[in-house]
Amino acid sequence: ELYNYDFHVISGDLIKKTLELQLEWCDVTECQGNEDLMEEQKAIEIAIEHYDELGLSGGVIIVDGKCIAYTLGERLNKETLVIHIEKAHIEYEGAYQAINNLFLKEFGKDIKYVNREQDIGIPGLRKAKEAYKPIHMVKKSVIFR
């Protein structure tokens, strides 16, 4: 299905719509039953609530007045844009690809690299990230004391 959508840079009232989508995403994915997803949820809520203070860049896709996808990121340096958070409503096929594309068109015009961060061991997320043909991937380890 094709959707009549608008892409907007996050500001003002769109911050609230972004948080609404995140809360809905957490409900739909049942993150309450997953400790890692709940920790992520808390961190995302803080990032959205302090969006301006953190100096983040963000974009949303709106369909029929509803936020169906968003991305939050920032410039790491002159050449690199980091995508910290990217979420989309699962009922809208292609929403993840669309928000990625639209966000990079808006904020990635003069960058050389995009850091999509970790896949947290989720096979589907890893596959999606590999579809962008990364030039380098780092094996991440956690050390416990």
Rounded Cα gap, residues 1 and 6, in angstroms: 16
The confidence score (pLDDT) of residue 145 equals: 75
Amino acid, single-letter form, for residue 140: K
Tell me whether residue 140 is in a domain.
Answer: no
Strand (E) positions, the chain? 5-9, 57-63, 66-75, 80-88, 113-115
The confidence score (pLDDT) of residue 136 equals: 62
For residue 60, the enclosing domain spans: 5-130
Instruction: CATH number of the domain at 12, please.
Output: 3.40.630.30
CB contact at 8 A, 74 and 8: no
Largest Cα–Cα distance in the chain?
Answer: 51
Structurally, the chain folds into a number of domains equal to 1
Segments in the chain below pLDDT 50: none
The confidence score (pLDDT) of residue 125 equals: 53
Tell me whether residue 109 is in a domain.
Answer: yes
The confidence score (pLDDT) of residue 114 equals: 87
The confidence score (pLDDT) of residue 116 equals: 82
The confidence score (pLDDT) of residue 29 equals: 85
